[in-house]
Chains A and B, each alone.
Chain A
Amino acid sequence: MRIRTVALLIILFGMLVVLSLTYAQNAPEASEKGKQVYENSCAHCHGVEGRGDGSAAENLLPKPRDFTRGLYKIRSTETGQLPTDQDLFDIITEGMPGSSMPPWETALSANDRWEVTAYIKTFYDGFKEAETPPKQISLSGKVANSEQSVETGKALYSELGCVECHGNIGRGDGTSAPDLTDEWGDQSWPANLTQGWNFRGGSDTEDIFKRFVGGLAGSAMPAFEGDSFPGFGLTAEESSRMIELDNKDEMTEAEEEESAQLYEKYDAAVDIALNLAEGTELSAEEKQIYDDAMKVVYEKSWHLANYVKSLMPEKRPEPAIGNNVLRSQYVQGELPEMDDAAWGTLEASYFPLVGQVVIEPRQFNPTVDAVNVKSYYSDTEVAFLFIWDDRTHTTDETDEETGKILEDALAVQFPVKVPQGPTAPKPYFLWGGRLPVYLWHWKASAPEQVTELTAKGISNAEVQEAQGELKAQGTYTEGQYKLWVKRALKTDDKKDLQLDPGVFVPIAFSAWDGANGDVDTKRVMTSWYTFVLEPVPSSKRFVYPPLIALLSVGFLFGLRAFVQRRNSEEV
């Protein structure tokens, strides 16, 4: 009995400890322990003094955070506010997807993560000087996701100028995308809003809302002050009426009057916001106007968050590994051309790309996330559709350092000869070695052309003598490349790969983003994956199963007859 009581007490105590750790809102006082954890696990990127200048920082983009400025991108707090302790703790715990900040949840105990949170705060005096806790963004007015909310958000997306950086449909391909820098002067690529898995602070609607309302401090993403909203101080109907009137070529007298009234209301509200920002006390009436205006702004921000959420798939696609290989589907007759609706019905295989960090010059900060591939084949030919996102359309930029021409490109790699059996050697995954690879090399400057190469190493590729066996068509629209390629299954060229249905063929990819400085070995790539011309299912599947079923019926009746005869003989 006593043992049981003790055990119960221990369990209760354990639960209490877990609960207190989970719900702790504030970090402990900075301690020697925090410093030790920091120097052991964080300083190599963030620097011993927290300036974001550790030994690894040089090769990283986004750069590791400089803690001495107190600027934090991922916060639950309003514009201009410091993050809460919980915000910092969460980032350490969960990491920042799409960057080199890993999740520390398993590597560091919760206690260590709290200690390090406290230590990080010592790099910026503002944390100590702050008299009141940072003001958190209220999530209470959440607008549920609906078709209408998404539509409203979409209109706001262009009204607020999001397109300039994030592009018309959110692929991060806006006109100013390549020129953005952060507070420290480093390149700051706008998010591709269709790839939620790369959102540093998570891609839930609430996360998006917080990023939008609070801003990503230090980055090129502005914080949306209420008065930067078109029609600040107006109701939703009034502001859309104002825009409608603005867009009219000619207004009647009554309309001019109406427009002037709306502008007056708008200007008054903006003035109040400016006064507030300067620290002026507001009158009760002004405060009411301001609060009402902010309510509309928050509601609009939810619409915008709902719209951004609608741009991305629910989760990152599964990579085409294991049995989930790229399967080319058989069609009779002509293969679909590039714009054929047949491509739409086919699910793409997803090949995530990583930086080429094996051979100098290396690419540590890839900008192309993945290439999606679809394929059909007929009795004589095979066609592929390669789809990948790239924020910029680069065809002939000159690299300032090397003088080399930078341009966007894609290469598809096969072995020249398919290895026979699972243990047979493959060519080296980086463009071959002792065993050669067969390559299709496409460049954005010549979108109708694919060059066939034979390579025995990443810097040892030869253009094949016989060209013109491939038909190609490439397009760039809204931050996305599409490349359609067609080739005969069999060619006369001995240096080409010959294709047969049912044979599993190794396949790999390389991609270059000219605007990211990709050229030659500096590129993104994959290791070997697998591709197969999926054989048409055998018609035997309609013959043998019924046959076996019939035989089994015959066997059962035979058995019964046998037993009956034996029984009667025994009798």
Chain B
Amino acid sequence: MKKLSLFTICLIILVGSWVFLRFVVGGIISVPIPGSVIAMYMGLIVIAILVHISVEDSLFREFRRPILETLVDDKRRLHRRVLVVLIPLLLLGYTYLIIAQRANPPGSPRDAHPSPPLELTYKDEVIGTMQDVVNPFRHYEKDDPEAFKAHVENGKRVYHQNCFYCHGDHLDGQGHFAPYLQPLPANFQDPGIIPNFQESFFFWRIAKGGPGLPAAGGPWDSAMPVWEDTLTKDEIWDVILFLSDYTGYQPRTFGEAH
């Protein structure tokens, strides 16, 4: 078998890497990789190849030999003729596609969990600082399991009269209205949601809804209602108990100061 030239090997590495990233990693193994990330990897590979061939003069000569041969050698006349047609044609097609591409709307970068304010309020009443407020019924979990159960039951009722249309029967954000809302309703079965936030954070999100989000959260898009207009403070705390009780995830807490 004829030994492959350095140029061909480099070409194979380049094309192979692209196919691997685009179709194998970004298709068979995982979800598609963004074009910009692929471009970055490809840039690295090109640099690696350039470094490799410029280490020694002989390597560089070996690398460019097939290019020069194709340009002038009589043996390579056929290659030359094919390439002189193919290269301009590909460039023609590529530039046409770029120019004729129709413009797409700008994506809207949105922070799904923006920073809360320092103070937690219900309507205009200040409850305390976001850091320190705890669910006033949480202690029943240890002190009085019967009372705790009653609060969870009430939270369940509130949830199913108000929240499940969007957040779903299973609290997985897949209520029957959910598919056609943007942004999508929160999925409380996602292990990244409940354990990452304090109960005061959930109180804030429920009480103030979409319109209460800071600008980074896209307050104009979210269909989350301002629940302090319809629910009492206790109902909100109860529904938070239900969220963690049903999913089995505990909201984040900070240990008591010693």
CA distance A567 to B220 in the complex (A): 68
CB <8 Å contact, B225 and A357: yes
Q: Which residues of A contact B159 (CB under 8 A)?
A: 44
CB <8 Å contact, A548 and B92: yes
Q: Given B87, B99, B160, B164, which contacts A545 in the complex, CB threshold below 8 Å? A: B99
CA distance A44 to B209 in the complex (A): 24
CB <8 Å contact, B99 and A544: yes
CB <8 Å contact, B72 and A99: no
Residue of B nearest to A432 (CB): B220
CA distance A502 to B104 in the complex (A): 10
Does A274 sit at the interface, judged by CB under 8 A? no
Does B254 sit at the interface, judged by CB under 8 A? no
Chain A nearest CB, measured from B231 CB (Å): 12
Chain A nearest CB, measured from B108 CB (Å): 5
What per-residue 1/0 map shows which CB atoms of A315-326 lie under 8 Å from chain B?
000010101010
What per-residue 1/0 map shows which CB atoms of B74-90 lie under 8 Å from chain A?
00000010011001110
CB <8 Å contact, A325 and B180: no
Does B126 sit at the interface, judged by CB under 8 A? no
306-349 of chain A: CB within 8 A of chain B? 319, 321, 323, 325, 327
520-559 of chain A: CB within 8 A of chain B? 526-528, 530, 532, 534-535, 537-538, 540-541, 544-546, 548-550, 552-553, 556-557, 559
Does A178 sit at the interface, judged by CB under 8 A? no
CB <8 Å contact, B109 and A540: no
CB <8 Å contact, B180 and A526: yes
CA distance A41 to B105 in the complex (A): 40
CB <8 Å contact, A553 and B88: yes
Q: Which residues of A contact B218 (CB under 8 A)?
A: 426
Residue of B nearest to A107 (CB): B170
Q: Which residues of A contact B104 (CB under 8 A)?
A: 323, 325
Q: Which residues of A contact B99 (CB under 8 A)?
A: 538, 540-541, 544-545
CB <8 Å contact, B102 and A534: yes
Q: A425-B215, A429-B220, A564-B72 are in contact. Are A44 and B100 (CB under 8 A)?
A: no
CA distance A327 to B104 in the complex (A): 10
CB <8 Å contact, A504 and B106: yes
459-502 of chain A: CB within 8 A of chain B? 502
Does A359 sit at the interface, judged by CB under 8 A? yes
Q: Given B96, B105, B172, which contacts A530 in the complex, CB threshold below 8 Å? A: B105
Does A59 sit at the interface, judged by CB under 8 A? yes
CA distance A527 to B108 in the complex (A): 14
Of the listed stretches A18-26, A50-58, A166-174, A297-305, chain B binds A50-58
CA distance A527 to B160 in the complex (A): 23
> Which size bracket describes the interface of B in this complex?
35 or more
Does A251 sit at the interface, judged by CB under 8 A? no
CB <8 Å contact, B169 and A550: no
CA distance A435 to B219 in the complex (A): 12
Does B177 sit at the interface, judged by CB under 8 A? yes
Q: Which residues of B contact A355 (CB under 8 A)?
A: 165, 177
Contacts across chains A and B counted by CB atoms under 8 Å: 148
Q: A527-B181, A545-B99, A549-B88 are in contact. Are A100 and B165 (CB under 8 A)?
A: yes
Chain A nearest CB, measured from B117 CB (Å): 18
Does A28 sit at the interface, judged by CB under 8 A? no
Most buried by A among B71, B164, B176, B221: B176
CB <8 Å contact, B156 and A44: yes
What per-residue 1/0 map shows which CB atoms of A422-435 lie under 8 Å from chain B?
11011111000101
CB <8 Å contact, A354 and B211: no
Does A360 sit at the interface, judged by CB under 8 A? yes
CA distance A104 to B171 in the complex (A): 12
Most buried by A among B96, B105, B160: B105
Q: Which residues of A contact B105 (CB under 8 A)?
A: 323, 325, 504, 530, 532
Count residues on chain A whose CB falls below 8 Å from chain B CBs: 67
CB <8 Å contact, B100 and A560: no
CB <8 Å contact, A102 and B169: yes
CA distance A567 to B73 in the complex (A): 11
Q: Given A55, A323, A534, A541, which contacts B161 in the complex, CB threshold below 8 Å? A: A55
Q: Which residues of A contact B169 (CB under 8 A)?
A: 41, 44-45, 102, 107
Residue of B nearest to A557 (CB): B84
What per-residue 1/0 map shows which CB atoms of B181-225 lie under 8 Å from chain A?
110000000000000000000000000011100010011110111
CB <8 Å contact, A359 and B225: yes
Chain B nearest CB, measured from A84 CB (Å): 24
Q: A429-B223, A433-B211, A528-B182 are in contact. Are A421 and B96 (CB under 8 A)?
A: no
Does B1 sit at the interface, judged by CB under 8 A? no
CB <8 Å contact, A545 and B107: no
CA distance A359 to B88 in the complex (A): 61
Does A353 sit at the interface, judged by CB under 8 A? yes
Does A364 sit at the interface, judged by CB under 8 A? yes
Q: Which residues of A contact B168 (CB under 8 A)?
A: 102
Most buried by B among A429, A541, A553, A564: A429
CA distance A541 to B84 in the complex (A): 22
Residue of A nearest to B225 (CB): A358
Residue of B nearest to A535 (CB): B103
What per-residue 1/0 map shows which CB atoms of B110-140 lie under 8 Å from chain A?
0000000000000000000000000000000
CB <8 Å contact, A527 and B72: no
What per-residue 1/0 map shows which CB atoms of A99-112 lie under 8 Å from chain B?
11010101100000
CB <8 Å contact, B106 and A421: yes
Residue of A nearest to B227 (CB): A358
CA distance A528 to B166 in the complex (A): 17
144-176 of chain B: CB within 8 A of chain A? 156-157, 159-161, 164-166, 168-170, 172, 174-176
Does A517 sit at the interface, judged by CB under 8 A? no
Q: A355-B177, A357-B166 are in contact. Are A563 and B103 (CB under 8 A)?
A: no
Residue of A nearest to B83 (CB): A556
CB <8 Å contact, B182 and A552: no
Residue of B nearest to A556 (CB): B84
Does A226 sit at the interface, judged by CB under 8 A? no
CA distance A178 to B210 in the complex (A): 36
Q: Given B100, B161, B165, which contacts A537 in the complex, CB threshold below 8 Å? A: B100
Chain B nearest CB, measured from A74 CB (Å): 17
Q: Given B157, B170, B225, which contacts A41 in the complex, CB threshold below 8 Å? A: B170
Chain A nearest CB, measured from B57 CB (Å): 16
Q: Which residues of A contact B174 (CB under 8 A)?
A: 102
Most buried by A among B80, B106, B172: B106
CB <8 Å contact, B181 and A563: no
* Among all A-B residue pairs, the 6 with the closest Cβ atoms: A549-B88, A56-B160, A107-B170, A422-B106, A549-B92, A426-B220
Residues on B close to A: CB < 8 A?
A: 68, 71-72, 80, 83-84, 87-89, 91-93, 95-96, 99-100, 102-109, 156-157, 159-161, 164-166, 168-170, 172, 174-177, 179-182, 209-211, 215, 218-221, 223-225, 230, 246
Beyond A354-B180, A548-B95, list 13 extra A-B contacts (CB 8 Å).
A45-B160, A45-B169, A55-B157, A55-B161, A106-B172, A358-B225, A527-B221, A530-B105, A532-B103, A541-B99, A548-B92, A553-B84, A553-B88
- 6 examples of A-B residue contacts, CB within 8 angstroms: A319-B180, A357-B166, A358-B224, A433-B211, A545-B93, A545-B95
